[in-house]
């Protein structure tokens, strides 16, 4: 076989790979940060994205609150409320509050990336502001939950648990504080449902369009001491300089 024939075969294979999408450009750094909030990140349980995990934890907290309300004894109520607190406030296990704050952090990381779109730059501070009410509810749940766990009266615990159920429900679906008949119609009423919708709308506005980020890029983005974001070609799983 001649050298010319071999070269033609190589060129043909390259063209075929390009046409089939086997050769792709890396995603933008901004989109990788958004992917950490939406799709996956290497430090969470099951490597879920922070916003997805926040939704899971909100559901867990509400289910545990309902169990507490159905408790027949003070000890049963305390055990269920302890589960509510774990799903809401745990930092080690990425409770709702922690996961949501980290999701907002990553949207902010995206906005400050050199390749961030105007859409992300404008949306990041809005999203960070709009998580406020959910965070406030989480903190109130922590206070009420502590009263239940350390209390000695089942009657008093029942009053706190009733409020915890309402708060965990609001963290899922939103609330109607202005009594206009609509849940989550304004940011101060938002729950995870409205925040996820806000995030999805931001993603839908992206140009060029956001595409699901490949796992390798999600798990190998690192920040150098200089502050510059790069992909770690040694596949060490990220988190140089404590990046979460």
Kindly indicate the confidence band of residue 50, based on its pLDDT and cuts at 50, 70 and 90: very high
**pLDDT recorded at residue 243:** 54
pLDDT digits (tens, 9 = 90+) for 38-47: 999 989 989 9
What CA–CA distance (Å, rounded) separates 195 from 234?
35
**pLDDT recorded at residue 228:** 83
Higher pLDDT, 87 or 42: 87
Q: Give the angle subtended at the CA of 143 by the CAs of 138 and 146, to the nearest 5°.
A: 120
Share of the chain above pLDDT 90, in %: 77
pLDDT digits (tens, 9 = 90+) for 176-185: 999 999 999 9
| CB 36 within 8 Å of CB 50 | yes
What CA–CA distance (Å, rounded) separates 211 from 234?
24
- Listed in sequence order, the residues at least 6 apart from 61 whose beta carbon sits closer than 8 Å to its beta carbon are 83, 84, 87, 88, 96, 141, 168, 171
Helix 74-89 × helix 50-69 angle, to 10° = 170
What are the tokens at 88? 């809401």
For 24, counting Cβ atoms within 10 Å of its Cβ (0-12 exposed, 13-18 middle, 19+ buried), the class is exposed
pTM, entire model:
0.85
Kindly indicate the confidence band of residue 236, based on its pLDDT and cuts at 50, 70 and 90: low
| CB 112 within 8 Å of CB 122 | no
| pLDDT exceeds cutoff 90 at 19 | no
- Please compute the mean of the pLDDT values over residues 80-90 and round it to a whole number: 97
- Please compute the mean of the pLDDT values over residues 178-204 and round it to a whole number: 96
pLDDT digits (tens, 9 = 90+) for 116-136: 999 999 999 999 999 999 999
| pLDDT exceeds cutoff 80 at 206 | yes
Domain boundaries, the chain: 30-212, 214-244
């Amino acid at each position: 076989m001649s050298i010319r024939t071999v070269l033609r075969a190589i060129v043909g294979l390259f063209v075929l790979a390009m046409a089939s999408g086997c050769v792709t450009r890396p995603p933008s750094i901004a989109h990788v940060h958004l992917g950490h909030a939406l799709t996956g990140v290497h430090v969470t349980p099951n490597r879920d994205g922070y916003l997805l995990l926040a939704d899971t934890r909100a559901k867990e907290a509400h289910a545990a609150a309902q169990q507490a309300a159905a408790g027949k004894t003070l000890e049963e109520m305390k055990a269920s409320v302890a589960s509510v607190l774990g799903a809401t406030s745990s930092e080690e296990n990425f409770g709702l509050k922690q996961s949501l704050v980290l999701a907002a952090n990553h949207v902010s990381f995206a906005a400050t990336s050199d390749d961030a779109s105007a859409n992300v730059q404008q949306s990041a501070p809005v999203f960070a502001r709009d998580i406020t009410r959910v965070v406030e509810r989480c903190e109130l749940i922590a206070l009420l939950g502590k009263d239940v766990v350390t209390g000695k009266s089942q009657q008093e615990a029942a009053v706190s648990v009733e409020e915890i159920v309402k708060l965990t429900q609001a963290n899922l679906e939103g609330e109607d504080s202005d009594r206009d008949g609509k849940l989550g119609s304004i940011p101060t009423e938002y729950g995870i449902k409205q925040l996820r919708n806000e995030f999805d709308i931001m993603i839908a506005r992206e140009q060029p369009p956001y595409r699901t980020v490949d796992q390798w890029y999600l798990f190998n983005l690192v920040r150098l001491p200089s502050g510059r974001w790069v992909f770690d070609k040694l596949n060490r799983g990220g988190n140089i300089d404590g990046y979460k």
